[in-house]
A and B are shown apart, each in its own frame.
Chain A
Amino acid sequence: MIQIEKVSKWYGQFQVLADCSTQVSKGEVVVVCGPSGSGKSTLIKCVNGLEPFQAGSIIVDGISVGDPKTNLPRLRSKVGMVFQHFELFPHLSITENLCLAQVKVLGRSMDEAHQKGLQLLDRVGLKAQAAKFPGQLSGGQQQRVAIARALAMDPIAMLFDEPTSALDPEMINEVLDVMTELAQEGMTMMCVTHEMGFARRVASRVIFMDHGQIVEDAGKDEFFGAPHSERAQQFLSKILQH
């Protein structure tokens, strides 16, 4: 479903992605981890064209992201994305946050969008908050709304960019629970996260990045059992201590 082929990206002289190749098949959950500054967020933002890249190719559902002729808004409407800082629209109510793109991008009627929105809000356990504004919700609640907002577009895949990094510890699980449920239902997911517990539970594969390169790309059991690269071993030993 997502093919990443020798993708490289530079900020001026500085190379942030170097020859990254991997793929995510339908129904797979791929967790991307690595130290900060390793390029994992940049890579996931390349998948829906939020970040341009200079070399290589990314094919999503048969469509080339880097091709200038590609209708990016249309492609993006099929790929959900969840951000580290939630990015709900603060001037719109929760309902409006859920409905806006459904109506403006997919051309759904307000009624239809509203129904779909409420149904997803119920699913993430926040139906009672529909009339509130983002600023009135906790971080964990906001992130669950953000997931519902992405799901409202009926995406073929979901991208998560450190969805729990900006959350207080006690709110992390409520978001991970929603993500776990989503994974178990067969959603195709690519998640940049440090939550190794989540990775152990639901990941099909784990990708480890360092200095803009994909250092390790292995099945979950192999990754946690016997990582090949020394860098990944070090990373794991540090992160799994607590």
Chain B
Amino acid sequence: MIDWQLIADNREMLLDGMLYSLTLTGTAMAGGIVIGCLLALARLSSFKPLSLFAAGYVNLFRSVPLVLVIFWFYFLLPYFGLSIGPDKSVFITFTLFEAAYYSEIIRAGIQSISRGQVSAAYALGLTYPQTMRYILLPQAFRNMLPVLLTQTVVLFQDSSLVTIIGIKDFMGSTVVVASNNGAMTEMYTFAALAYFCVCFPVSMLLKRLHKRIAVIR
């Protein structure tokens, strides 16, 4: 069984770790959606160099394992004279990496809105930025909200990878407690339970949200 005393004794460290994981997820989600949105618009642009750049970016990041990107930023950036430390490094890595995934979701969302909506907005005299801001993106985001949030749940799980460069996120803190107390089995079981308790209810909520949105449309 799990030794709750051990967890209670280390609760501050574990809580700090969880907070770190959540902060990293939140930041990467916010930044990733903003950058992903710009990438999606760029990719759908009729200006070729812009859409090629966006396509290249997305394909590059989607074809490389996340661990490698974490390593790349952390170990190789200093060679180019950019020493930013592990924390900043992973925040940037996750934001840039997730932007690629979010941008594909956002692109699909934008394409799900009929061309006629854009024509109608233009016909009223709205400019391109106004059309995106008031007509297209609000509708697209409503359609893709469940998928965006599902991707965020995946992101939360993936954030545990930062442990490998020695960051004390929730997983990292668990590793420390486990090895200091020789309680591998217990602590890793506890960590699995904790991740499950966060992710599963959120996934269930998203399923219901998906159904509700499907009804509205």
Binding site for B on A (CB under 8 A): 45, 48, 50, 72-74, 76-81, 83, 85, 87-91, 100-101, 104-106, 149-150, 153
Contact = CB atoms under 8 A, between A and B. Distances in A.
A153 B125 contact: yes
Given A87-B117, A89-B117, A91-B138, A76 B123 contact: yes
A91 B125 contact: no
Contacts of B114: 85, 87
B122 A101 contact: no
Given A100-B134, A104-B130, A87 B119 contact: yes
Residue from B119, B120, B125 whose CB has the most chain A CB atoms within 10 Å: B125
Nearest to A88: B120
B47 to A, nearest CB: 14
B116 A91 contact: no
Given A87-B116, A90-B139, A105 B123 contact: no
B119 A73 contact: no
A91 B139 contact: yes
Interface string B110-124: 000010110111111
A62 to B, nearest CB: 17
A72 B120 CA distance: 14
A213 to B, nearest CB: 24
B116 A105 contact: no
B142 A73 contact: no
Q: Is the interface of B mostly helix, strand, loop or mixed?
A: helix
Given A83-B119, A87-B116, A105 B135 contact: no
Contact of B125 (A45, A76, A83, A89): A76
Given A100-B134, A104-B130, A104-B134, A87 B120 contact: yes
B122 to A, nearest CB: 6
B126 interface: yes
Contact of A83 (B120, B126, B139): B120
Contacts of B120: 81, 83, 87-89
Interface in B41-62: none
Contact of A91 (B121, B127, B142): B142
9 nearest CB pairs, A to B: A77-B125, A87-B120, A101-B124, A81-B123, A105-B125, A87-B116, A76-B125, A73-B125, A73-B127
A199 B164 CA distance: 75
Given A83-B120, A87-B119, A89-B117, A101 B126 contact: yes
Chain B contact-residue range equals: 10 to 19
Given A73-B125, A88-B120, A90-B139, 16 more contacts: A45-B119, A50-B122, A73-B126, A76-B122, A76-B124, A76-B125, A83-B116, A85-B114, A87-B114, A87-B120, A91-B142, A100-B124, A101-B125, A104-B130, A104-B134, A105-B130
Contacts, number: 62
Given A90-B139, A91-B138, A100-B134, A149 B124 contact: yes
Contacts of B121: 89
Contacts of B139: 89-91
Given A87-B117, A91-B139, A73 B122 contact: yes
B125 A74 contact: yes
Interface string B122-147: 11111100100011001100100000
B136 to A, nearest CB: 10
Contact of A105 (B117, B124, B142): B124
Nearest to A87: B120
Contact of A77 (B117, B124, B134): B124
A50 B134 CA distance: 19
Nearest to B124: A101
Nearest to B125: A77
Contacts of A50: 119, 122-123
Contacts of B123: 48, 50, 76, 79-81, 83, 150
17 contacts: A45-B119, A50-B123, A73-B122, A73-B127, A76-B123, A76-B124, A76-B125, A79-B123, A81-B120, A81-B123, A83-B119, A83-B120, A85-B116, A87-B120, A89-B139, A105-B124, A153-B124
